[in-house]
Amino acid sequence: RAKAKSRGTISIFEPEMDQQIRDRRVLHQELSVAIKNGELSLYYQPQAAAGGSVAASQIIGFEALARWHHPVRGCVPPGDFIPLAEESGLIVEMGEWILREACREAASWAIPLQVAVNLSPAQFTHGDLVGLVHSILLETGLTPDRLELEITEGVLIEDFDRGLSLLRRLKALGVRISMDDFGSGYSSLSYLQAFPFDKIKIDRAFVINLGRNPQSAAIVRAVIDLGHGLEMSIVAEGVETEAQLDFLAEEGCDAVQGYLIGRPAPIGQFAALVGGDQLAETVRRAG
Ligand code: C2E
Ligand code: MG
Ligand code: MG
Ligand code: MG
């Protein structure tokens, strides 16, 4: 057993640590067959135009969120398995499955709402992302302007020039690009100037604190104005209360997403919003 523990060193002889490594290895193996076994699925969370009240909120689209239904462990949250998939490189294959599944689903809707898909950094650095998006759009028949790709600044930090070129080529396909979790990391204003985002998603952390501290309100207000000045639209994430919605609508925020509007759920729960599941099913089978 390693004696001294100091910051930044890994004591490789800790038995618990050994167990953790074994657990991760097992989880990794299980994740690698999860797609084939049909254990992955997508949940969808609605986004609404920021109108007056929840009842009056018009649904404009959905964000697709990955779910892993593990046969024994149950539902493993994406916060656990996405990082694992990223580390192991599995995210490339998984990301492709997610993108195809979300586009196929959205293409089957009778009402042409938007679908937003999260991209991982590894999808930017491995393989031909632009070619993949292009072929999935052709294959599924989804109109490019209905697809929104969500990226976090982490994607762009590593290689500015490559990131910019990729975003421009994606935009040239006609898809939309959103900056996800804005304000949560090292977001710098120069990113907003340099990269052609269509949308900024204000991180949940600021929304939670609306009404609790005046700083969050000031930041949210400033981001809305800034985004609008750059001709980007603004979505607030994690909206849970009417008071938050009121504030955001008042400040001119374009759209909201959060438990107040709807929790992420299988698309069947939103059948009425996308045009009915019977119709969707017919279209899917025909295609
Ligand atoms: P995200 O893209 O910022 O997604 C929003 C997360 O906030 C989702 O968590 C959603 O369930 C949660 N959320 C939405 N509204 C509320 C609310 O009102 N209150 C609270 N407390 N939470 C809310 P989820 O589904 O667990 O996803 C977590 C993160 O995992 C996502 O953050 C995204 O970064 C990543 N992720 C999820 N699906 C995918 C995927 O398909 N691909 C990639 N690359 N990453 C994904
Ligand atoms: Mg997202
Ligand atoms: Mg987010
Ligand atoms: Mg997030």
pLDDT of residue 16: 73
Judge if ipTM > 0.95: yes
Distances (CA, A) of 65 to 77, 97, 278: 10, 12, 23
The helix/strand/coil state of 64 is strand
State the average pLDDT for the chain: 89
- Cα-to-chain-centroid distance, residue 47: 12
| Token pair listed for 21 | 């490594």
- Mutation probe of ligand 1 site: the residue of 35, 42, 82 with most atoms within 8 A of C-beta: 82
pLDDT in tens, 91-127: 999 999 999 999 999 999 999 999 999 999 889 888 8
In this model, does residue 277 exceed pLDDT 60?
Answer: no
pLDDT in tens, 123-153: 988 889 999 999 999 999 999 999 999 998 8
* Among the bound ligands, the one closest to the CA of 119: 1
- Cα-to-chain-centroid distance, residue 121: 12
* Among the bound ligands, the one closest to the CA of 46: 1
Ligand 1 atom closest to 79 (CA): 30
